[in-house]
Structure 1
Amino acid sequence: MSARHLRRAVGASALALLASLLVIVVPQPASAVHQIATVTLDGSTTQPGRMLRDGTASQCGTQKVYPGSASPATTFNYATTAFVAPTSGCLTVSLSHVTCVSPTNAFLSIYSAEYHPTSQASHYLGDQGSSGATAPPLQVSVEKGRTYVAVLNNTNAQEACSGDVTFDLADDTTPPDTAFVRTPPAKVRDSAAVLTFTGQPAADTASFQCQVDGAAFAACTSPLELTALAVGSHTVAVRALDGFGNADPSPAVATFVSCDLKSGTLTLETATAALAGADKAVAKAKQRLAKAKTPKARKKARKRLTKLTKAATAARQQVTTIQQGVHACAE
């Protein structure tokens, strides 16, 4: 092998090795967050009383009500550890490796932003419900960038011990469902209509978006009041969203016909007149385009013709919609 070929071979091998190293060291995005903190109850922080253990662990999507307090005259050790959510989702918090004489002498709860030992209901989000080796983890829905405080406290005595608090955060990708509570009748004898709707589970529903007659989805609230409806058929779609922006992929849909043939904002008579005017404007625009002599004039005339043609198409569609509505109302 010549020296030149040797240099090429060595260079190619070096590049291949470098590429393989780059593949190895490039970090891959994690789909979940796993964090462990050892919390020690050493008596440096104490609180009067403790939270009741009601046997029900908090779950994502359902806001648990503070279960109440117990033993207000007794002093208990407590300690905290903070967790900042790098993304929104369902946070699971569990307790393990408890060194208390009895595992039931350690109880885990979680709060939003901060913990006040003399006001244990403030900022409360959830708890384990029970304590001991078989106690279930607690779950709460968290939002990106917010701070959450896990609290470990004694339950039976002021004992010095510790435990590992584990945070597991999974992305929340489950949207709420949407359902109508009230919709207009098939034929509305008015130019207005009211629709009410809800999201399930309610605790996981943060907002709604509505789509009326094929327009873009926009923020809305229940009840949705529609006014000045044109004569004809109408379709309303509603989708619920959770606090993480997950939208119901199958919106609730309601259809009805407005049969207010006299007081509607756009009757068949006015729509037909508007179409005639639009067609007349298109005809004039075509004449101007034919008479245009310079490239600049032709460009301007062509642009105007395009705009008027679109308007005429929309007017023609409006007439068709109203005609269908009149026919449906007559049935």
Structure 2
Amino acid sequence: MVRHWQHNVTLYQLRIFLAVLRHRNYTHAAEELHLSQPAVSAQVHELEHLLGLALFEQVGKRLVPTQAALVLEEHARKVMAEIEAAADALESLHRIEAGRLSLVASTTIGNYLLPVTLALFHRRYPRVEIELTIENSQAVYEEVRTGRCELGLIESRVEALDESLLLTPYRRDELVLIVPPWHPWAHLESVPLAALREVTLLWREPGSGTRSVIEAAFQQAGIQPPVTMQLGSNEALKRAVAANMGVAIVSQAAVAAEVTAGWLSTVRIGDGALQRTLHLVQRRAGHLSPATQAFLALLLEPEAEQATNKAPDR
């Protein structure tokens, strides 16, 4: 038999077929399905025509299934069960009872700001799988642009932004100077930006969002401090400062635990001039999953920001 029928049989026909098989009667099947009896019998006859096989024989007032009907029943039930399972899975995604949250964040956000928010998210949606990738800001753009992650969070924006990406500001962050507790500046409320020319300033690597903000501030002030040492993470910067190798500029959120423990001190730069806006990155043409939409809503809640501001980094 030519198997062209498999492309023409519909779920509607299979549903009607199974109802007729249950009742062994067109009229009773029609009542269950809220259809007319002629509509039900017409669909069964069309299905028989597509298959090239009879599905029922009329014996008195009852329909008796043929061997073909019994074979089709087994597979039709599997098909309908799979459709039902797919509907349940999609509904779970819609209700955020399942799914996956895929994020990529720049270093400071990923290490110090997001963990508390993700903990809140996990308490609300415990069945959602969470994946967080941490990169520098330049790499975050690439992860989102190529679709490897749905949503990115960055500390600095690039000048030549890819047209396929959309940036949305979501919160402010202040950068502060960190020094050892015994440093002459440790008890000062603030130091001017120009004073940093007189000390050994430790830097993050090129491509870091923190570094981009610092470079822009120096350029605007007409200052060119020497880059004597650059380190690849905030943790490395903090340890180097604690070892009296120099001073560094980091997000206030990145040093909360060390300040509380008395290992480091923070000093404002000027009148808090090193402020930056943190941004969300997503594809303009992309559609965010229900889980990602729920995360965005949580991220913008006052409760999430307050919890982030209070939490130490370890």
TM interval, shorter chain, is under 0.3
Q: Rg larger in 1 or in 2? A: 1
Bigger share in strand: 1
Bigger share in helix: 2
**TM-score normalised by structure 1 residue count:** 0.20
Query: Which structure carries more relative contact order (alpha carbon 8 Å, separation 6+)?
Result: 2
